[in-house]
Amino acid sequence: MKRISLLAVLFVFIFAFVAVVAFAADTTTVKQDTQQYRMQIGNKAERGVKNVLFGWTEVPKKIVDITKETRNPLWGALAGTWQGGCDAFARTASGVVDVATCGIKNTEKPMVETTMNTVPAAGTK
């Protein structure tokens, strides 16, 4: 009878030890997931703040790009202001959305694509 109770106690201790080890491993995984989630929140908030603060820089960038492409400063100023304004709006809106949703599960890419797909005018390359 003592031998059976000794085996039962030994079995309980082994079971408890295995349960503690399994729980510790699970806790480590949870801690790593929590740290990774916090990093994702920080990265998304940082990207959003940068887009909000520097979205306006798309306007002069597009003016210069289109002026270099067409070699026409007037067209560069007009089309560049329009396309740059559209890109700036998209980038700033993307930044606002990123900051507002930084606590939600992060994706690896922005929710809004900030580049504008434009079709070249007839006769231009």
**Quick check: 112 pLDDT over 90?**
no
Confidence of residue 76 (pLDDT cuts 50, 70, 90): very high
**Quick check: 79 pLDDT over 90?**
yes
Tens digits of residue pLDDT in 7-19? 666 666 666 656 6
First to last CA, the chain: 94
**pLDDT mean over 20-38:** 65
Residue ranges per domain, the chain?
2-100
- pTM higher than the cut 0.85: no
**Quick check: 110 pLDDT over 90?**
no
37/103 Cα distance (integer angstroms): 9
**Quick check: 97 pLDDT over 60?**
yes
